[in-house]
Structure 1
Amino acid sequence: MDAVEHFVKFYKKLDNQSLTELALLYSDNIVFVDPVRKHQGLPAMRHYFAQLLQNVSTCTFDILQVDKADPTVTVTWVMHFNHPKLKSGKTVSVDGISQLVITNNKISYQRDYYDLGSMLYEHIPLIGSFIRYLKGRLAT
């Protein structure tokens, strides 16, 4: 299985994943960047995923599109997750894009782009109401 196929398979069933699979998908010196922080190295990725999976009830991805331009790959996705403290535990869906760089059939760089507001802030009481109000004002 090539790295892109492995990536798609891994993220489609993320909430059931064993973290041992990370070493099959990511290089030892992986650089992973998302809107919250930057993680460097496989141990940092294991820690990141362990925290992620510990804090959510479910987390799955719908992979919408994969565009390959060696060695860069762009993956468009929708993440669905349930967190007990967000939106009363109901499913939150967030659109996103991952930019991947493949080296020796493993991902050596991943940058995720998504709206942190729609993922988190909009679902926190008071702050969420204010963010939705601002978005509405900007849209007019």
Structure 2
Amino acid sequence: MTRLDELIAWFETLSPDNLHRVADFYAADAEFKDPFNEVRGPPAIENIFRHMFVQVAEPRFVVTSRFVGSPPVGGAMLLWEFHFRTRAPLPARAMIARGATHLRFDDVGRVTLHRDYWDAAEELYAKLPLLGCLMRGLQRMARA
């Protein structure tokens, strides 16, 4: 099993019980960026994942594809689905957000860059009550 395989397995089984393993996979100065956060270092990255378990119920990542670069540049792109259920005050509802992650690694296979790309407007906001109505209206106005 490669380091990437191990990382994907960890992502797909992420739970509050195994969050402490962030430092096993991320370099001390690793950068993490998504549509809501930009942090550096395993403790801050662990905090983002820990916050996910507070904000949504039953979060689960499913990696659907991977694209691995060749040395010396290396790196990987992962396509994924994020399955979760909304929490109060929203009505409980199963949702899926789709996105991609760009990863870069150091010489020993730890992540130095984790950059998530996903459309928060389409994958999250447009699916929520009230805000979704506004977002869908804005999308209609912006269409060619």
Q: TM-score w.r.t. structure 1 length? A: 0.87
Give the paired residue count. Answer: 140
Aligned to 2:124: 120
Would you say the 8 A contact 1:122–1:128 is kept in 2? yes
**Are 2:77 and 1:74 aligned?**
yes
Return 91-100 or 12-21, whichever deviates more.
12-21
Percent of matched pairs sharing the same residue: 21
Question: In 2, Cα distance between the equivalents of 1:28 and 1:17?
Answer: 21
Residue 30 of structure 2 is matched in structure 1 by 30
Structure 1 CA distance, aligned partners of 2:80 and 2:6?
A: 15
Once the two structures are overlaid, the 10-residue window that deviates more, 89-98 or 1-10, is 1-10
Gaps of 5+ in 2: none
The one-letter amino acid of 2:99's match is: G
- Distance (whole Å) between structure 1 residues aligned to residue 33 and residue 16 of structure 2: 23
Following the alignment from structure 1 to structure 2, what is the Cα–Cα distance between the partners of residues 64 and 17?
A: 24
Query: What is the Cα deviation at residue 74 of structure 1?
Result: 0.6
Cα distance 1:126–1:91, how it changes in 2: closer, same or farther (>3 A)?
same
Distance across 1 between alignment mates of 2:43 and 2:7: 18
Q: CA RMSD in A?
A: 2.0
Q: Is this contact kept in 2: 1:12–1:63, CA < 8 A?
A: yes
Equivalent-residue separation in structure 2 for 1:137 and 1:60 (angstroms): 33
Once the two structures are TM-superposed, the CA of residue 139 in structure 1 deviates from its matched residue by 4.1
CA distance in 2, matches of 1:113, 1:5: 20
Identify the range of structure 1 (9-18 vs 63-72) with the bigger mean alpha-carbon deviation.
Answer: 9-18
